[in-house]
Chain A
Amino acid sequence: MENILEVRNLRVWDLNSDKVLIANNSFDLRRSSCLAIVGESGSGKSITCRSIMRLNGSSLRQSGEILFKGENLTTLSEKKMRRKRGRKLCMILQNGMSAFDPSCVIGVHLKETLAEHFDCDWKKNEIEEKMKLAMESVMLKNPIEIMNKYPHQLSGGMLQRIMIALAIVLEPDIIIADEPTTALDTVSQFEVVEQFIQLRKKMGCSMIFISHDLGVVRKIADEVLVMKDGEIVERGPTEAIFLKPEHKYTKYLVSTRLALSENFKKLMRGETIVAES
């Protein structure tokens, strides 16, 4: 399988403190596969993702190459990079509650984003219709009503699914999900993970899935990267990582997994009950 994204010698450092946050990391994302990045908070998972999108804060600098379908993203102009964001590389954030402008109804963000990417080649009604269908497909009933609500009137899980629905309409090549289940309660977590699995099945897009919940990772990922202190300490196919962890840190993570994701596993066994409610 060919690689859709190749990250070469990615290095990120803080300009103010000269602290190196990501040290010379290289990894590949294969077409239509899901790569999970696991590790504790502060290990550089989110910064890696934001570096791919080139969305790190102004005090962070990055070097190295990021090849998307052979094109180096790091040398693109800001304008060309902006066109790639959303349309080609789509991000789903951890906290749905703060991901939307609190003073606007949800529909404003959706319409602005869609108008930005589709205005030239699609008619307005068609996009709206597609958005509605996408929202229904992620189990959001009454899409029109939801679009007219403010973020604080919706639940974290609903907002997360709205982000997924937006990704469905944008049809990106790569979806980057930055801890999409961390801020949710176990029931919503289950629903959101289900939607991610559906999303991969339906669209066949590639995905980078950041999480520290190994139960979720095992269910969704094809390959796993383990990060610690800005370095990749282990990588390999998911099952191999879980069955035969080699690095000390990975062993530690896997051994604590059972305790961590006990609730999640319980829910997975009782799938039907949740789906009905």
Chain B
Amino acid sequence: MGRYIINRVFISIPLLLIISLLTFVLINLSPLDPAEVVLQAQGVPKITDELIAQTKEELGMDQPFILRYFDWLVASLQLDFGDSYVTGKPVWSLIGPAFLNTFKLTFVSSVVIIVMSILLGVICALKEGKIVDKSVRGVSFFLTAMPSYWLASIMIWYVSVKFDLLPTSGMDSYKSYILPVIVITISYAGIYFRNVRTSMISNLNEDYVLYGRACGLPEKKITVHILRNSLQVAISIFGMAIPIILGSTVVIENIFAWPGLGSLSVKAILSRDFPIIQAYVLILAAVFVLFNTVSDIVNAAMNPKIRNDL
């Protein structure tokens, strides 16, 4: 098991390097000249070729591509993503707190989504084909199909404005979490609980369940065995779901005025603030790789067969 973890972590290093290179190449392929962007953002009235050349030198843009990539990579590893072109502040001082805010929202939502998915998935699988199963699936289908921005607006209108129960926006207390978390949960739990349900049902028909019953084991113990085996599929899916939610809270964050990564990245993209965009893409990619690795390791801990696969 220890060897598996070391191997798995080791494999993710080249993956991260490739991702960082791709990020850097793609941003540099942009037709805009960063030096021009900087000058425009600083409000320089007349941009001359001389000025551009000077700014390029200041930013180190005159150096060869590979050198710039390595400089950026080494600095990024120390969380130094350079300065924002627009505000001139260090990128980390902007993206750090925003990332933390988004992460808090994602974390709470993910916990709720995972708990709900497992709970509903298990209930539906055990009552397969019965009214409970059918109604849960029906309702969840209906809720998942609703666009989250529309659902969010409706909720703000009824819960916060009309009945004044919860804050409409911002991030002030635990109450601010309730509405965004509900909206995110509704749009994701409906998808993930189906995975848990399907994998539970396919496990229910396995021989080991029949043999367990034939040996007179109580249903409770058999359910634990089934859960243990069906959660392996769910864990890989959840492992991917968390970074997806992290990256796709843009809409929700804008509606609820959540001071997170989503709002920051949209602003950065609109003002062509390259260092922030680069850092944002790199951080999200790193989170993806991290969660993928973690879910693989958890799966290997649960399923002895996988351990030898690497």
Q: Judge whether B207 and A95 touch: CB under 8 Å.
A: yes
Flag whether A262 is at the interface (Cβ < 8 A): no
Flag whether A11 is at the interface (Cβ < 8 A): no
Q: How many angstroms between the C-alpha atoms of A109 and B303 in the bound complex?
A: 16
Q: Map CB proximity to B onto A73-103 as digits: 1 under 8 Å, 0 otherwise.
A: 0000000001111110011011100111111
Q: How many angstroms between the C-alpha atoms of A1 and B66 in the bound complex?
A: 91
Query: In the assembled complex, which residues on chain A have CB atoms less than 8 Å from the CB atom of B216?
Result: 82-87, 113, 116-117
Known: A112-B221, A150-B304, A152-B304. A102 touches B214 (CB 8 A): no
- Kindly identify which residue among B213, B217, B218, B225 contacts A104, using a CB–CB cutoff of 8 Å: B225
Chain B residue total in the interface (Cβ 8 A): 24
Q: Judge whether A101 and B228 touch: CB under 8 Å.
A: yes
Flag whether B46 is at the interface (Cβ < 8 A): no
Flag whether B229 is at the interface (Cβ < 8 A): yes
Q: Judge whether A101 and B217 touch: CB under 8 Å.
A: no
Q: How many angstroms between the C-alpha atoms of A35 and B205 in the bound complex?
A: 27
Q: Judge whether A102 and B229 touch: CB under 8 Å.
A: yes
Q: Judge whether B211 and A100 touch: CB under 8 Å.
A: yes
- Kindly identify which residue among A84, A93, A109 contacts B207, using a CB–CB cutoff of 8 Å: A93
Q: Judge whether B304 and A166 touch: CB under 8 Å.
A: no
Question: Which residue of chain B has its CB nearest to the CB of A91?
Answer: B214
Flag whether A37 is at the interface (Cβ < 8 A): no
Known: A98-B208, A102-B305. A166 touches B215 (CB 8 A): yes
A window 155-210: CB within 8 A of B: 163, 166, 170
Flag whether A258 is at the interface (Cβ < 8 A): no
Query: In the assembled complex, which residues on chain A have CB atoms less than 8 Å from the CB atom of B128?
Result: 58
> Would you give the shortest CB distance from A158 to chain B, in whole angstroms?
15
Q: How many angstroms between the C-alpha atoms of A104 and B208 in the bound complex?
A: 11
- Kindly identify which residue among A58, A85, A103 contacts B229, using a CB–CB cutoff of 8 Å: A103
Flag whether B138 is at the interface (Cβ < 8 A): no
Q: Map CB proximity to A onto B123-162 as digits: 1 under 8 Å, 0 otherwise.
A: 0000011000000000000000000000000000000000
> Would you give the shortest CB distance from B7 to chain A, in whole angstroms?
20
Query: In the assembled complex, which residues on chain A have CB atoms less than 8 Å from the CB atom of B232?
Result: 103
- Kindly identify which residue among B210, B211, B218, B228 contacts A103, using a CB–CB cutoff of 8 Å: B228
Flag whether A240 is at the interface (Cβ < 8 A): no
> Would you give the shortest CB distance from A190 to chain B, in whole angstroms?
23
Q: Judge whether B303 and A103 touch: CB under 8 Å.
A: yes
Q: Judge whether A55 and B218 touch: CB under 8 Å.
A: no
Q: How many angstroms between the C-alpha atoms of A58 and B129 in the bound complex?
A: 10
Q: Judge whether B208 and A102 touch: CB under 8 Å.
A: yes
Query: In the assembled complex, which residues on chain A have CB atoms less than 8 Å from the CB atom of B205?
Result: 57
Flag whether A53 is at the interface (Cβ < 8 A): yes
Q: How many angstroms between the C-alpha atoms of A55 and B207 in the bound complex?
A: 12
A window 128-162: CB within 8 A of B: 150, 152
Q: Judge whether B208 and A101 touch: CB under 8 Å.
A: yes
Query: In the assembled complex, which residues on chain B have CB atoms less than 8 Å from the CB atom of A53?
Result: 213-214
Query: In the assembled complex, which residues on chain A have CB atoms less than 8 Å from the CB atom of B213?
Result: 53, 55, 82, 85
- Kindly identify which residue among B210, B221, B303 contacts A102, using a CB–CB cutoff of 8 Å: B303
B window 5-23: CB within 8 A of A: none
Flag whether B60 is at the interface (Cβ < 8 A): no
Query: In the assembled complex, which residues on chain A have CB atoms less than 8 Å from the CB atom of B210?
Result: 50, 55, 93, 99
Flag whether B206 is at the interface (Cβ < 8 A): yes
B window 214-246: CB within 8 A of A: 214-218, 221, 225, 228-229, 232
24 A–B pairs (Cβ distance < 8 Å), ordered by A? A53-B213, A53-B214, A82-B216, A85-B213, A86-B216, A91-B211, A91-B215, A93-B210, A95-B207, A101-B229, A102-B208, A102-B303, A102-B304, A102-B305, A103-B225, A104-B228, A109-B208, A113-B216, A116-B215, A116-B217, A116-B221, A117-B216, A150-B305, A152-B304
Chain A interfacial positions (CB closer than 8 Å to B): 50, 53, 55, 57-58, 82-87, 90-91, 93-95, 98-104, 109, 112-113, 116-117, 150, 152, 163, 166, 170
The 6 A-B pairs with the shortest beta carbon distances in the complex, nearest first, are A86-B216, A91-B214, A98-B207, A85-B216, A99-B211, A86-B215
